[in-house]
A and B are shown apart, each in its own frame.
Chain A
Amino acid sequence: MSRSANRTLQITPLALLLAVATSSARAAPPTVEPLESGRAVYEHWCAPCHAAGPGHPGTQSLQVKYGGRIPPVLLDRTDLTPQLVAQFVRQGVLSMAPFRKTEITDAELAALAAYVARNHKAP
């Protein structure tokens, strides 16, 4: 790649990646492909706040909120349903403002919710 060439890049082709994603967050166990799509959405939009380690305000907040009773890292949780994930994304909580459909489309949200809730276990 030329180091000074003009290039054009569409940054978030997630909608294309997610063409196969289910449009609903309820479903049988998700297939691998939507999970991979959901992972991409998670990495772009959620990981900067919710990944493990210091410097992640979402993780810090959930650590204080639950005092260790529930894992502070979203991906370590088994109590999150796709519906709950979708609700937080669209309604926001505290300093996390809601995400608009130009940021996370409905199809991307379905894939994201399936990915974050992939370890859900019924109580």
Chain B
Amino acid sequence: MAIPPNVTPAAFDAALAAWRAAVGSEWVFTAAEDVALYRDAYSPYWGEPEERVASAAVAPATLEQVQAVVRAANAHRIPLYPISTGRNLAYGGSAPVYSGSVVLDLKRMNRVLEVNERNAYALVEPGVSYFDLYDYIEQAGLDVWIDPPDPGWGSVIGNALDGGAGWTASPFRDHFGAHCGLEIVLASGEVVRTGMGALPNSKSWQHNRWGYGPWVDGLFRQSNFGVVTKMGLYLMPRPEALYSAAATTERDADIVPMLDVLNRLENEHIVNGSTGIFGGPDGAAASFPTWTCSVPIYGPEKVVRAQMDYAKARFTAIPGVRFTEGELLRTPLSPEAQARVRLVNFGIPNLSTFAMLGRSPSNPDPAGGHIGFSPIVPRTGEALLEFKRFYRENLAKLSGGEDLGIVGPVYMTCWDRTLVCLIMFPIGRDPARNAKIRSAFEGWVRLAAARGWAEYRAPAAFQDLIADTYSFNHHALRRLNETLKDAVDPNGILSAGRYGIWPKHLRKV
């Protein structure tokens, strides 16, 4: 049996005994074969000494059990690493950031506590996946949509807390931005409810996120200040239709006015769907447009047709830009339509995204896993063209002259005013190849930071590296985070190292 670092066998035995008493022996995992299930299948350090691995796992099913587990860990100074569904693949999966931590597996907390159709919100526990919430709503026949990210088996809470995004309408795509109210177990075991939830017998916890006094919810996003055990989230009333179009051009420079139009239409809430920017002529057939902006609009049919007319007028005012209306799809989708659309755009979770880097005719021998570098870039055509040049000029150099299977850049527009310029890296089980990928990844992080661009969400192995790039005023933000960490978790038991925040006793001088 593995023992967490800096923990005596006696202290670990005492914690294990307390956990078994709290959750039942069958939900405390110490056997090597059980603990191995918590390895990160996409770890860039797979099989190497630096791979982040758990020492054990404990799986409570209730709030009270979480409190008991955390209290015992705090008493015996055992590092805990909470996970929700454990499917945060490419960002660490179910493995801890600090090797040797005990995983606090919240998958068994899988209740949908409420779905309110009239005010369009839900209240869920951490083990609830997008599949689960979708099934619940479908079975209840409620007229609301969820906003799924690419893989549907992720946790609704976990994805929001990790800064994830989805594929339906703004503002639901911003999963943390669309949350309303948290319940948190602190390192002491005390339970806190945020926003209106701080009012005993509150009747508006999921109606109003702000409550009274400082809004602390943001402290629990990408952090290690508490264990979130409940979260409210806003749902989207099922729109009557989705109407899509494409604006295209053959000229590279046209992306500048096109993005200005797109931004204006989004900021005016004329275009509310998940837009896309595709193209760039590298390697494309001559007949392929140089740039394509997809323009999806959700809403009542009469309204979206008028919005589309307005969008068309704005785009076609740019000389040389063509605008092609696509199909208007009414909801609920027919089975025939469901078979040919991208389901996540219709609030339907699925796992088709794994086909992208999985085995396929064009990729018969895939690496298996992947990680991504996704710097945030201003949503302007000039910035996009600069990133495109940046990628082209540095790919060979950062890959050591080899083809490492790096794919990019993919321009994502999940958040208003923001471009996410995704570069994807294959991760396999060959340590030598993974070492080259790690070196390339680190190179991209450092070069991008020098341009003023940085990652929004990091794989566990690179969270320190990314945090280092957010260094304004001699790492003032990190020092503030450390001050908060020391105050709220003085023994440093929760998620040590997550997003670069280390407890005092593990901090590098």
Q: Which residues of A contact B (CB under 8 A)?
A: 1, 3-4, 6-12, 44, 48-49, 53-58, 60-61, 64-65, 90, 92-103
Contact = CB atoms under 8 A, between A and B. Distances in A.
B107 interface: yes
Given A60-B359, A101-B37, A55 B350 contact: yes
Interface string B347-362: 0001111110111110
A11 B357 contact: no
- Pairs A-B, 5 closest by C-beta atoms: A97-B41, A61-B359, A57-B354, A57-B355, A102-B107
Given A3-B117, A102-B59, A57 B351 contact: yes
B110 A60 contact: no
A61 B241 CA distance: 34
Contacts, number: 124
28 contacts: A3-B141, A4-B116, A4-B117, A6-B116, A11-B128, A48-B152, A48-B153, A48-B351, A53-B339, A55-B355, A56-B352, A60-B358, A60-B359, A61-B358, A61-B360, A65-B364, A90-B33, A95-B41, A95-B358, A95-B366, A96-B354, A97-B41, A97-B87, A97-B89, A100-B57, A100-B94, A101-B34, A103-B85
A97 B34 CA distance: 14
A1 B139 CA distance: 11
Contacts of A92: 41
A100 B93 contact: no
Most buried by A among B114, B119, B141, B370: B114
A64 B360 contact: yes
Contacts of B153: 48
A92 B87 CA distance: 13
Interface in B47-86: 57, 59, 85-86
B113 A95 contact: no
Contacts of B147: none
Contacts of B115: 7
B494 to A, nearest CB: 19
B114 A7 contact: yes
Interface in B362-403: 364, 366, 368-370
Nearest to B354: A57
B84 to A, nearest CB: 11
B37 A57 contact: no
A11 B116 contact: no
B111 A64 contact: no
Given A9-B111, A48-B350, A55-B350, A94 B34 contact: no
A7 B124 CA distance: 11
Contacts of A64: 359-361, 364
Nearest to B363: A64
Given A3-B117, A48-B153, A9 B42 contact: no
